[in-house]
Amino acid sequence: MAKLPYTLWIEGHRVLTWDQRRLPFREEVIELSTWQEAAHAIRSMQVRGAPLIGVTAAFGVALGLRELAGSGRHSSLTAAQTALDEICASLIATRPTAVNLAWGVNQVRRAVAQAPHPDWARVAWARALELHAADAQCNAEIGNHGLSAWKEMIARAKDQARPLQILTHCNAGALATVAWGTALAPVYQAHQQGIAVHVWVDETRPRNQGASLTAWELARAGVPHTVIADNAGGLLMMRGQVDVVIVGCDRVAANGDVVNKIGTYLKALAARAHQIPFWVACPLSTIDPDTPGGMQVDIEDREASEVEQMQGLVEDQSSALYQQMVSVRVVPVGSAVLNPAFDITPAALVSGLITERGVIPATGKAICQVLALEPA
Amino acid sequence: MAKLPYTLWIEGHRVLTWDQRRLPFREEVIELSTWQEAAHAIRSMQVRGAPLIGVTAAFGVALGLRELAGSGRHSSLTAAQTALDEICASLIATRPTAVNLAWGVNQVRRAVAQAPHPDWARVAWARALELHAADAQCNAEIGNHGLSAWKEMIARAKDQARPLQILTHCNAGALATVAWGTALAPVYQAHQQGIAVHVWVDETRPRNQGASLTAWELARAGVPHTVIADNAGGLLMMRGQVDVVIVGCDRVAANGDVVNKIGTYLKALAARAHQIPFWVACPLSTIDPDTPGGMQVDIEDREASEVEQMQGLVEDQSSALYQQMVSVRVVPVGSAVLNPAFDITPAALVSGLITERGVIPATGKAICQVLALEPA
């Protein structure tokens, strides 16, 4: 059985991951052994989180090419190219809007294009492994830099013989990435280094990624944590029970505004009111220099059913559905629902962006500087 | 069928109310025709909300005395007094901590004590009716004063040919009182006067009083409203989609700090950040001059199961539990949970307290002045 912080791992030529649809109540490892299985895993949301989807798609292409090589049916270059095109198109079509998905597919495709046709399967697998390692490495670096930024706070908590109290929203953990996660990377590294930490886990309505995914992965990694309603964070901060807030991000605008899961902004406001540092874990790939500010981001309204219904496990032993996952309605039928997926945290509320290249202020200038260093 | 804004209403000698445990999915009116039924309604939480519990208990005593008078079994004063003591004690014992419960019982008892024994049933009924009318009147006054405070905003919204956008948290509506509610009283009055309003209803995890009770009663009264996750309010305020926030309160301290349902504070911070008025509907009975400030209030931690589980209606027609209320677990078994029931909104964030005697600032001085006018 795999150990966190890895969410997608390789054993020989086997690609393994969790079926995230079953979490947190069923821990099921699935093996992706064909490109169709990789496509299915993405489409059915067995895997989720942009980086994880991208790497899964990359392995999808590699698995497809291995299949072709094994079958011998596509010995001509033209036939192989047609088959490759089909596999890539099918993988890219699994989710409509995931940028990382096309990116992962195209990374492998580009590597293959420069190799002789009989080497495709080997080259594709090697490239997928590189992408896998690169994502893990990126997040490990975010973990290092985050931990450095927290050094004084950690020392203070240690002096007071108490754990560092961290609050997080949604799931920017290992399960959204290949390994470590982004917001949880410093948490895992602290825990591995024997630094006492405790995480307040926002439930994160309406989709409950905190209560289901973050709580599950922290429990599995042995990190002490407590689930709270999204409403509770303000009181905890007022009482001095939170040392630091860290969240991931869906997009960071050129001016440092942070677009992240709905509810992030309320926690940033509360952190500011109580002078609590509010950090954003931010791989450089999530910075969009073409978006001037957060208000220019079109916030997606998701389906009302996410608010209207809750999915969970039936625990009543006398029930006909004991131990089954059931969806229940929690909003009256006659009431309208609005379900915006993200909100905008103004740069001024952000203590800093923790990137794989170090911690930078959430300002246009710092963002320009760090992006200028990046290879195109 | 009764019409809101009344939650408990009298038809002849019949006491009628909603079974709130069934809401919002089953609309069931129950009749309380014996004191035991009144006691059961309080104990089993068919009725909830401090003022409603108090008045229900008052009718409980009146129903008990009518029963005694009818039976003729307690014709001696001593026997009647013993029976009255028993009824009162039983009613007071139905809920451990509800202050209004004892208050309602004792109001009727005091009235009875001054009357000749054969008049008890009549006097008790009359006193219960008075308490019923007084609560409705108190809340109607809160509605009037709230509407006056909103006058300019209402005019501005009307000029812009759009509804006044109101955000509320939890249920401080008709269902928590005999009629009108507190926070929703100005909303109902605006609606009745033909003023266009729209209410953003915070779901209010963990117990979902917003999504279940507030949404239901607004729908039944025909008030346009939209349910949102508790996380969404900050974004809506940032986008200019909220004109005013109004909430009820569990207790107001002598300095104007407001103790209310967990999550209230986060909305107050967001309202302040966007210069949106944040009002607290506050019957004078909820002001506690003996509590110096909010931080002196002991915040109750409620059961973890409220966060761990969600109750809702099974809508899947193929399910064995179709149309039944089911409780499902939404937090992994190995994760700890903290469930503080209330939080503290500092007086400085409160635009004003809307009381039955008018709108006052949330300051110690104003609170002293208004309480000095009250009869002891």
| Nearest-angstrom CA–CA distance, B130 and B111 | 11
In this structure, what token pair is assigned to residue A153?
């706070």
Q: How many CB atoms lie within 10 A of CB A137?
A: 14
Mean pLDDT of all residues in chain A?
94
Q: Collect all residues with Cβ–Cβ distance below 8 Å to A37 and sequence separation of at least 6.
A: A30, A31, A63
In this structure, what token pair is assigned to residue B10?
């009298």
Decide if pLDDT at A162 tops 90: yes
Nearest to A334 among B219, B232, B328 (CB): B219
| Nearest-angstrom CA–CA distance, B102 and B249 | 20
Place of tokens 């501005």: B156
Amino acid found at B289: P
Confidence tier at A268 by pLDDT (50, 70, 90): very high
Chain A: residue whose CA lies nearest to B24: A332
Three-state secondary structure call for residue B357: coil
Q: How many CB atoms lie within 10 A of CB B193?
A: 10
In this structure, what token pair is assigned to residue A41?
């895993």
pLDDT of B50: 85
Q: Convert the pLDDT of each residue in A126-137 to its tens digit.
A: 999 999 999 999
Contacts of B234 in chain A (CB under 8 A): 263, 265-266, 269, 343
In this structure, what token pair is assigned to residue B27?
């609309």
Mean pLDDT, 10 residues at a time, over chain B (376 residues)? 79 92 92 96 92 95 94 81 95 83 94 93 97 97 98 97 98 95 97 97 96 96 97 98 97 96 98 98 93 93 95 93 94 96 97 98 97 76
Report how far apart the first and last C-alpha atoms of chain B are (Å, whole number).
38
> CATH homologous superfamily of domain A152-300+339-372?
Translation initiation factor eif-2b; domain 2 (3.40.50.10470)
Q: How many CB atoms lie within 10 A of CB B102?
A: 16
Decide if pLDDT at A199 tops 70: yes
Query: Which string of DSSP letters, residue by residue, matches A244-259?
Result: EEEE--SEEETTS-EE
Q: How far is CA B94 from CA A108, B104, B242, in A?
A: 69, 13, 40
| Nearest-angstrom CA–CA distance, A185 and B10 | 62
Sort B61 into a burial class: Cβ within 10 Å, 0-12 / 13-18 / 19+. buried
pLDDT of B345: 98
CATH 1.20.120.420 region(s) of chain A? 8-137
Phi, psi of B310 (to 5 degrees): -130, 140
Decide if pLDDT at A33 tops 90: yes
Element (H or E) spanning A134, and its range?
Answer: helix A120-149
Report the pLDDT averaged over residues A184-194: 97
In this structure, what token pair is assigned to residue A20?
């995230």
Model's pTM, two decimal places?
Answer: 0.94
| Nearest-angstrom CA–CA distance, A314 and B309 | 9
pLDDT of B22: 87
**Closest by Cα among A295, A313, A299 to A342:** A299
CATH 3.40.50.10470 region(s) of chain A? 152-300+339-372
| Nearest-angstrom CA–CA distance, B71 and A66 | 91
In this structure, what token pair is assigned to residue A45?
């949301």
Confidence tier at A186 by pLDDT (50, 70, 90): very high
Nearest to B340 among A227, A232, A339 (CB): A232
pLDDT of B197: 98
Chain A: residue whose CA lies nearest to B336: A226
pLDDT of B71: 83
Long-range own/partner contacts, residues A69-78 (CB < 8 A, 24 or more apart) = A69/A118, A69/A120, A69/A121, A77/A117
Dihedral angle sign, alpha carbons of residues B18, B19, B21, B22 = negative
Nearest to B269 among A201, A269, A325 (CB): A269
pLDDT of B376: 57
Q: How far is CA B313 from CA A154, A316, B322, in A?
A: 46, 15, 8
Q: How many CB atoms lie within 10 A of CB B96?
A: 7
- Selected catalytic residue, list A250, A288, A298, A301: A250
Report the pLDDT averaged over residues A342-365: 98
User: What secondary structure letter does DSSP report for A212?
Assistant: I
| Nearest-angstrom CA–CA distance, A71 and A324 | 41
Phi, psi of B298 (to 5 degrees): -80, 115
| Nearest-angstrom CA–CA distance, A258 and A254 | 10
Asked if B157 contacts B196 with a C-beta cutoff of 8 angstroms, the reply is: yes
Phi, psi of B346 (to 5 degrees): -60, 145
Q: What percent of chain A has pLDDT over 70?
A: 98
Q: Collect all residues with Cβ–Cβ distance below 8 Å to A262 and sequence separation of at least 6.
A: A340, A341, A342, A343, B229, B231, B232, B235
User: Angle at CA B286, nearest 5°, toward B178 and B365?
Assistant: 140
- Chain centroid to CA A74: how far? 37
Asked if A297 contacts A259 with a C-beta cutoff of 8 angstroms, the reply is: yes
Chain B: residue whose CA lies nearest to A303: B228
pLDDT of A2: 52
pLDDT of A376: 57
Phi, psi of A48 (to 5 degrees): -145, 170
Cβ separation A206–B229 shorter than 8 A: yes
| Packing angle of the helix pair A99-113, A50-71 (nearest 10 deg) | 40
B310 CA to chain A: closest CA distance, Å? 7
A329 CA to chain B: closest CA distance, Å? 5
- Chain centroid to CA B53: how far? 9
| Nearest-angstrom CA–CA distance, A35 and A46 | 14
Contacts of B321 in chain A (CB under 8 A): 319-321, 326
Q: How far is CA A55 from CA A167, A249, B174, in A?
A: 28, 19, 53
Amino acid found at B129: L
Q: Convert the pLDDT of each residue in A240-256 to its tens digit.
A: 999 999 999 999 999 99
Contacts of A228 in chain B (CB under 8 A): 307, 337-339
pLDDT of A373: 79
In this structure, what token pair is assigned to residue B287?
């002001």
Report how far apart the first and last C-alpha atoms of chain A are (Å, whole number).
38
| Nearest-angstrom CA–CA distance, A186 and A355 | 12
Contacts of B238 in chain A (CB under 8 A): 265, 343-344
Q: Was domain B8-137 assigned CATH 3.40.50.720? A: no
Our answer to whether residue A243 is catalytic in this structure is no
- Cis-peptide into B289, omega within 30 deg: no
| Nearest-angstrom CA–CA distance, B180 and B182 | 7
Asked if B248 contacts B182 with a C-beta cutoff of 8 angstroms, the reply is: yes
Query: How many A×B Cβ pairs under 8 Å?
Result: 248
Place of tokens 């895993």: A41
Nearest to A343 among B234, B321, B326 (CB): B234
Give the mutation candidate from B330, B337, B342, B345 for the A interface (greatest A CB count, under 10 A).
Answer: B330
**Closest by Cα among A125, A130, A270 to A200:** A270
Give the mutation candidate from B241, B258, B331, B339 for the A interface (greatest A CB count, under 10 A).
Answer: B331
| Nearest-angstrom CA–CA distance, A287 and A265 | 18
- Chain centroid to CA A163: how far? 25
DSSP H helical ranges for chain B:
35-43, 50-71, 77-92, 99-113, 120-149, 151-159, 185-192, 209, 215-221, 233-238, 264-273, 305-308, 364-372
Element (H or E) spanning B174, and its range?
Answer: none
Element (H or E) spanning A262, and its range?
Answer: none
**Closest by Cα among A340, A283, A307 to A51:** A283
Q: Convert the pLDDT of each residue in A311-331 to its tens digit.
A: 999 999 999 899 999 999 999
Element (H or E) spanning A103, and its range?
Answer: helix A99-113
Give the mutation candidate from B298, B335, B339, B345 for the A interface (greatest A CB count, under 10 A).
Answer: B335
User: What secondary structure letter does DSSP report for B162?
Assistant: S
Contacts of A232 in chain B (CB under 8 A): 262-263, 338-340, 343
Asked if A367 contacts A289 with a C-beta cutoff of 8 angstroms, the reply is: yes
Q: What percent of chain A has pLDDT over 90?
A: 88
